[in-house]
Amino acid sequence: MATAVQKLSRRLKVKREGMDLLRQALTHKSFLGEGGGLACNERLEFLGDSVLGLIVSEHLFSRFTESQEGELAKAKAVAVSEPILAEAARKSGIAEALFISPGEESSGGRNRPSILSDTFEAVVAAVYIINGFESARDFVLKSLRHILQDIESDEHHRNYKSLFQELSQSIYKKAPRYLVVNETGAAHDRTFVIEALLGGETLGVGEGKSKKQAEQAAAFEALRHPMFAQHKPGK
């Protein structure tokens, strides 16, 4: 564990005087009962969420000068979603450095997307406090490089359906399905209306010029449903 934290600190350029704050960022609340005298990372997560949001919003705003608020919001929702941040935590070495209780460890907590995404945000906050905004920005943009590249090439839309699929199965152990509820227009200019359902309940409705487009729109709306609100799909 100590080695993993040291590796992460070197990667983040955190010096000795900032190590206590980095360890706090890596401390899940379950670990507090295990001793060590550390505070958990929930306060840092709160700050990190805002710092992360600003960095991603600024990046999208500057890169997509013709995009309207709605499209920017949808792109941001994908970039800061729970599975994306959890994967960034794994690739950056945060998962290995995480302090969690043995009980949480045995139940799969070290690989749980909600814990990893929260810890990623806490680490962003720690880097921001210790080394400043530019260092935090560099860390975030490098960590989210692949999804941001997908957004630039307009490939990120596929993530709405995959994100909805991942969250539905990991949280509710159910797979979503899609239902065409309306088709209008001539054969060469059809418009589809599709519902995204989970366990028989309609969570989102989308419209598009193809079934694929309508399904993506429905999945995005489903991710904004209160059932998923606490899992950060639509910030």
Burial class (CB in 10 A: 0-12, 13-18, 19+), 72: middle
Report the amino acid identity of residue 100: I
What is the residue-level pLDDT of the chain in tens, covering all 235 positions? 579 999 999 999 999 999 999 999 999 999 987 655 568 999 999 999 999 999 999 999 999 998 899 889 888 888 898 878 988 999 999 999 999 999 999 988 888 888 999 999 999 999 999 999 999 999 999 999 988 988 887 665 556 788 888 888 888 889 999 999 999 988 888 899 999 999 999 999 988 888 888 888 898 888 878 887 555 544 4
Class of the 2-152 domain? mainly alpha
The yes-or-no answer on residue 20 being catalytic is: no
Residues 210 and 192: beta-carbon distance below 8 Å: yes
Single out the catalytic residue among 87, 121, 150, 195: 121
Intervals of CATH 3.30.160.20 along the chain: 164-231
The yes-or-no answer on residue 121 being catalytic is: yes
Intervals of CATH 1.10.1520.10 along the chain: 2-152
The CATH architecture annotation of domain 164-231 reads: 2-Layer Sandwich (3.30)
DSSP E strand stretches across the chain: 177-184, 191-198, 201-208
CB count, 10 Å around CB of 168? 23
CA–CA separation, 163 vs 109, rounded Å?
Answer: 20
Instruction: Answer yes or no: pTM beyond 0.75.
Output: no
